[in-house]
Copies of this chain bind each other. A is one copy, B any other.
Amino acid sequence: MPRKAQEAYTITYAVLGFLARWGATSGYDLKRRFDQGMGYAWEATHSQIYNELRRLKRYGWAEMETEEQDTRPDRKVYHITEQGQEALSAWLGQPVGLPRLRDELALKTMLGAFAPEKTLLQNLQAAALVHEQRLAELQQELEDHGDPAEASAWQQPIENGKTHDPYIGLVVQFGVRFETMYLAWLHESIALLEANLK
């Protein structure tokens, strides 16, 4: 069977979508966007992003221009094409798969009986600190993008340069809900272990 001429993966569309949302952007700046609160949707390493950008160019979904800089390395700035926008829109209409979660701590929790009692408790307590930190960061993000629960957030247009975006707000809100849920689970688990062991 011949290999498809145009193979595209979730990460391909993620990068394409980011170009649509943010306008002309370099790989370096895309990476920063990915790192800002979007981890709850999809993560990406810089080598992946550079790869996908080249792929988008091959497919004619994006075009590239080099910006020369004196004191810094040149920037390669990509922008989405008409074809790229069509491909993105078509992909958005496809049905989605289930979210995939993998959590070492949950695994160690289920095996908690196979190590000294303190062991699991320590891991749960350490995790609580990390997740409290994450929750605080996300609440800051919510302010940047605008709270999607407020009607005014949907009335302003979404612009390339601006962070204001109620759709992104929905995803950040998902992150907030996730971290809040996770913390509640941690605290309840810690309390139950403390109450019922020894």
Contact in complex: A105, B100 (CB < 8 Å) = no
Contact in complex: A106, B40 (CB < 8 Å) = yes
Known contacts A101-B100, A112-B167, A126-B95; A10 and B107 CB within 8 A of each other: yes
Q: Is A17 positioned at the interface, with any CB of B under 8 Å from its CB?
A: yes
Number of copies: 2
Contact in complex: A92, B114 (CB < 8 Å) = yes
Known contacts A107-B42, A177-B185, A189-B170; A151 and B99 CB within 8 A of each other: no
Give min CB distance, A162 to chain B, whole Å: 13
Q: Report A171-198 CB contacts with B as 1/0, cut-off 8 Å.
A: 1011001101110110011001001110
SS class, residues of chain A in contact with chain B? helix
CB-contact partner of A114 in B89, B123, B189, under 8 A: B89
Q: For A96, what are the chain B residues with a Cβ–Cβ distance below 8 Å?
A: 104-105, 108, 123, 126-127
Contact in complex: A88, B104 (CB < 8 Å) = no
Q: For A103, what are the chain B residues with a Cβ–Cβ distance below 8 Å?
A: 40-42, 99-100
Give min CB distance, A120 to chain B, whole Å: 7
Q: For A111, what are the chain B residues with a Cβ–Cβ distance below 8 Å?
A: 17, 20-21, 88, 92, 167
Contact in complex: A119, B93 (CB < 8 Å) = yes
Q: Is A14 positioned at the interface, with any CB of B under 8 Å from its CB?
A: yes
Q: Is A110 positioned at the interface, with any CB of B under 8 Å from its CB?
A: yes
* Chain A contacts with B in 75-108, Cβ cutoff 8 A: 85, 88-89, 92-93, 95-108
